Structures are given as C-alpha cells and as structure tokens.
Structure 1
Amino acid sequence: MARDSKSKEHRKKGGLGRGIEALFEDEPQIDTTEEVQDLSLDEIRPNPYQPRKNFDNKSLKELADSIKENGVFQPIIVRKSINGYEIIAGERRCRASKLAKKKTIPAIIRNFDESQMMEVAVLENLQREDLTPLEEAQAYEMLQKNLGLTQEEVSKRMGKSRPYIANYLRLLTLPSKTKRLLQHGELSMGQARTLLGLKDKDKIDEVAKRVVKQGMPVRKVEALVAQINSKKPRKKTVRKSAFIRASESQLANKFGLNVNISESKKGKGHLSIDFASTDELNRILDILGVDLDD
C-alpha cells in the first residue's frame, strides 16, 4: 500500500493552531534583515530532536541537483553549540547541500533553548506533513517526556485536540512488526488504529500482515476485528495420562456414576463424582464406608 494512501485524518492535518513564531511570543520580533552567514557544512550537526527518521532519497537527489544549479535560496536556521552548530530548521537542505558537494550553506544563527529546539523540530515537520504517523506519535511522546507535559498541554502547544494526540500516542503500543508496516507506509493510520481494537493483542501482527496482503480498506478491517473479537476462545483439551484414564474407568465401574479426575502441573489433582440425587450420594458414602451417624 503506497504511503500516499494514508488516512484522511493524517493527510488533513495542516493548519496548526499556532505557528512557529507563536511559540516565542515573549521574544522580541525577529528583524527581517537579520544576518545570513555562510557556515561550513562540516560544522553543522542535525537537530537532536528531529522527529523525522527517514528522508526520501529520490526527492533529496532532486533537491541536490537544484542546489548544484541554483544554490540554496532559503537559509537554514541553526543555534551555536559547544562544537559548531545544531540545525533548528532545514535539515533536508543541509543533507542535499552535502550531496551536491557544497562546502558551505547560508544560515541564520538564533539563540534557542532545548525546549524551543524540540518544539520547532516537531512543528516544522508537522506543517510540511513530512512525518509518518509513527514518527508523529514519537514526536508527541518526546515532548511529553522531555518537557514533562501532559497530553492536554501537548495538544495546546501543537494546536491539536487532546483525542487527536491520544490517538497518535496509542500507535506506540503496537507490536514491532506492525509498527514497521506503519512506518514504511504499508499500513495506514486508520488501519493501525482499528487493529488496536483487537482484544487479543498477540494477534495484531498476524492480522496486520493479512490486512496489507489483501489491501483491506478501513471498513473491512473494522469488520474483521469485530469478527475476531466475537469468536469465543477454544478451551484447551488436556490429554490425560493412561493411569488417570484407567483410574477414572475403575471408579466409574465401582460407583456406577460418571467420575472425572484432573491433575495440575504441580502434581495436585481434583476428583469429582457426579450424582443426581440424595439416594445416590448416600450410596457413594456407603461404598466409601462413611457413616454420618457416628
């Protein structure tokens, strides 16, 4: 299933409630004439909070070819670090410039703290819809853990509803094989969310593989999950030893009633004798030599 077959929910996530500038309302407005410097690409490192893990090689090559011909039109944004610079925004341009064998890249240096670095990295990618559903989920989790935010606080900062954030975070509970299908675009956001509805979580990988193989739309996945959930689990048949079966037979003959013997792995067991009336119970007691009048 192609990656551009993502669920409508994932495709229509533009229009964030807050722009990048809104994150820094307390900062003075940036002068549009701020200085652009040519920095050595060897001094620039990726944003440690970059949520995007995969970069499309084909589009990266196309950008590199354009940079060879025309250069970089839009400067990247970096911050000074202990050893060189860290990218705040523009990692794709930086990668393409290296691919184009460039030595330097135009950049603007800004003073951002860790929190701002993290939020910009997430917002920049979300606004361009560059992230896979799994990468987006991991980005929200990173904001939660590293900044100590609640889901409600993440939703406010990202301009999303709390259920929207919660639905993405639930994807992180998927088993590893299903996560890989989601990451590579073989499984859509809608399909993955539906699979989370399986009562038996051990079946998710197996069903996900079937969904991808058959190219099931979300509605069919929903029907399949409902069908699987409605099935009653089969009772496991425990094979009894020859000794237990012989003992049951002899006792059944002795009492003339149905006898069942079960044993556990720890060596303990259970013996039951079925009777239909008080008279049958008294007969069992007589055979066993039990006198209740004593």
Structure 2
Amino acid sequence: MKSSAKKIELASVDDLFSTEEGRQDAKLEKIQEIPLSELHPFKNHPFKVKDDEAMMETADSIKQYGVLVPAIARPDPEGGYELVAGHRRHRASELAEKETMPVIVRDLDDDAATIIMVDSNLQRESLLPSERAFAYKMKLDAMKRQAGRPSKENVSQVGTQKRSDQLLAEQVGQSRNQIQRYIRLTELIPELMDMVDEKKIALNPAYELSFLKKEEQVDLLDAMDSEQATPSLSQAQRLKKYSQEGHLTLDMMRVIMGEEKKSDLDRVTFTSDTLRKYFPKSYTPQRMQETIIKLLEQWQRKRQRDQER
C-alpha cells in the first residue's frame, strides 16, 4: 500500500539560519580577484590587442592605481575563465606585472557572451575596418540565433518586430546597408584585409574585391605586386564583373592593375625635401603651401596681362 503523504523536502541548516536578505545577497554578482593566468581570451576575439602607446599608458595607470573597472568573464569548462570584456586591461595588467585583476564572473551562453564582448569594444574611438567587420558579423549572427530565424531573409515572426540587422544598425549608429558592406569584408583573404586596415586599399574597392573567389584574391596580390599598384573603385568593379562572368585571369588582372589611373595623370607631387631648399627653415609646410599658391596666382595674373598686350 502506497503512502498518500507528499514527499517532504527538508531545509538545509544554512537555509534554516540564513535570512532572506542574506539569501538575496548570495545571488548578487561579486567582484573577484582572479589570477591573470586563469583568464583566457574569448574564442575568435575580433579585436586586436596591441602593445602600442595607448597600451603602455594603460599599463602605467594600472601600475599606479590598479584596474578601476572590473573585467567580465564566464567559467571555462576546461578550467579557468574565458574573458568576455577586458582583454586590453588583462594585457595591461600583465605589462604592469600584476598577478591578479578584478573580474565579475557570469554564467553566459555563447550568444549572450558574444554580444557583451562586441558591445564592450565597439565603444572604442578608433576601430580597424577588420575589427568592425568581424565584430558586426559575430554580433549579428548571435542576435539572429537569439531571435530565431523563420525564413532565409530572417523576416520577423511578428510583423511589428524588426530584422536583426536593422536592430544592430540602430544600436551602432550605422545604416543597415553599411552594416552589410562591413560584414562582406570578412570574405577577404587576410593579406587583403591587412591592406584595408593599413589604408592601402579603400573601403569601397575592398567591398568589390570581396566578391572575388579566394584563389582570385591570391592572384590579385601577385598582380598588385608586379604592377606596384592597388585597385581603384572602377578597377575593383571590373575585376568583380570579370570574376562573375568567369573570365578573370592573372594576365587580365595585371593588365588592369597596370593601367595609369586618371588621378595619377592629374596629380603633381613635390616632396618636402624638394621644396625645403627654396624656403627659410622657419617655414612650416602649411606656410610653404600658402606661399606657393600666392606665387602661382601672381604668375597667372602676369601671364594674362602679357596675353592682353
């Protein structure tokens, strides 16, 4: 005969003698001092952590005042913690020869962690195009997974809801089209992406080049090197067109890259070393430019007077 009595759960000793205030306090996030060696970088972290001048200034500040804003991390199943926000502070703490840093530990799933990681870095004043491109892609993918994706176009289940890329655009202050153009840059091979970061290739040509097949992008590097030139927007658009038509070859790339650009034909360039010998040492580049313009204007007026005689 089965007992009709309900299963009774006994409270633990800690529960019996703890107050409600104490139980609520235990649920609050705590700032912990965690050894730097136990903090691992976020997987596929798109933001570059460089030992540049700004990093050295941060390290000096940490050496003097410590880390003022705690990092955010989540438990790593393989041991230690995965940094979500605070990669630069972590590196600066290493340079400052600190052993620990303050960290808030949160239980976050992959998508929530990705969004926090991206948001905490997008606030930086200067971001490389590659950083922005991969960050937008990672966050948009995470937002889509969180919201669900009922169709290939990610159309909302409810008509009043917005697309994930529109929400992202509003959050970062960019147009939806610009978001997609940045994300497209992630299709570039690393060597071309580095050239975009170094401002050797402008963003608009880079967007067109991202439609080239990977092997075509490798050949383009060869053509650019042999002709010592980088593609203009019109050249990049033609390369894309020939690629889509299946006619793009290395020889064609070399011909296109060997073209003399209109901007090169219209430009006259003087180095500062060439001009310096004609001016006093105290002249700044700006003053030299102003003086040259005045002299050219005087020459032009004299030429007009001579023609009128």
Q: TM-score, structure 1 length as denominator?
A: 0.53
Question: Aligned with 1:121: secondary structure?
Answer: helix
- Contact 1:144-1:154 within 8 A present in 2 as well: yes
CA gap 1:145/1:178 in 2 versus in 1, 3 angstroms? same
Question: Aligned with 1:164: secondary structure?
Answer: helix
CA gap 1:174/1:76 in 2 versus in 1, 3 angstroms? closer
Aligned residue number for residue 119 of structure 1: 115
Q: CA RMSD in A?
A: 4.1
Question: Which AA in structure 2 matches 1:104?
Answer: T
Q: 2:88 aligns with which of 89, 92, 117?
A: 92
CA gap 1:136/1:207 in 2 versus in 1, 3 angstroms? farther
Q: 1:42 aligns with which of 24, 37, 47?
A: 37
Tell me how far apart the structure 1 counterparts of residues 42 and 210 of structure 2 sit (CA, whole Å): 32
Displacement of 1:89 after TM fit? 0.9
Question: Aligned with 1:38: secondary structure?
Answer: strand
Structure whose residues are more often strand by fraction: 1
Question: Equivalent residues in 2 for 1:1-294 (5 A)?
Answer: 35-52=30-47, 54-59=48-53, 60-82=55-77, 83-129=79-125, 131-143=127-139, 148=145, 150=154, 152-157=163-168, 159=171, 160-193=174-207, 195=209, 202=216, 205=220, 209=224, 221-225=232-236
- Contact 1:49-1:121 within 8 A present in 2 as well: no
Displacement of 1:39 after TM fit? 1.4
Tell me how far apart the structure 1 counterparts of residues 103 and 237 of structure 2 sit (CA, whole Å): 54
Number of residue pairs the alignment of both structures matches: 197
Question: Aligned with 2:122: secondary structure?
Answer: helix
Tell me how far apart the structure 1 counterparts of residues 129 and 211 of structure 2 sit (CA, whole Å): 18
Tell me how far apart the structure 2 counterparts of residues 96 and 179 of structure 1 sit (CA, whole Å): 27
Displacement of 1:105 after TM fit? 0.6
CA gap 1:178/1:70 in 2 versus in 1, 3 angstroms? same
Structure whose residues are more often helix by fraction: 2
Aligned residue number for residue 306 of structure 2: none
Question: Which AA in structure 1 matches 2:113?
Answer: M
Aligned residue number for residue 6 of structure 1: none
- Contact 2:134-2:183 within 8 A present in 1 as well: yes
Question: Aligned with 1:72: secondary structure?
Answer: coil
Tell me how far apart the structure 2 counterparts of residues 227 and 78 of structure 1 sit (CA, whole Å): 47
Tell me how far apart the structure 2 counterparts of residues 36 and 224 of structure 1 sit (CA, whole Å): 54
CA gap 1:92/1:178 in 2 versus in 1, 3 angstroms? same
Higher relative contact order (CA 8 A, sep 6+): 1
- Contact 1:39-1:107 within 8 A present in 2 as well: yes
Q: Percent identity?
A: 31
Tell me how far apart the structure 1 counterparts of residues 97 and 116 of structure 2 sit (CA, whole Å): 27
Please list every run of 5 or more consecutive structure 1 residues that lacks an aligned counterpart in the other structure.
Answer: 1-32, 234-294
Question: Aligned with 2:52: secondary structure?
Answer: helix
- The one-character-per-residue Cα deviations of 1:134-181 (angstroms, maximum 9, x if unpaired) are 232223333455664659424424535431222112213334532231
Displacement of 1:125 after TM fit? 1.7
Question: Which AA in structure 1 matches 2:233?
Answer: E
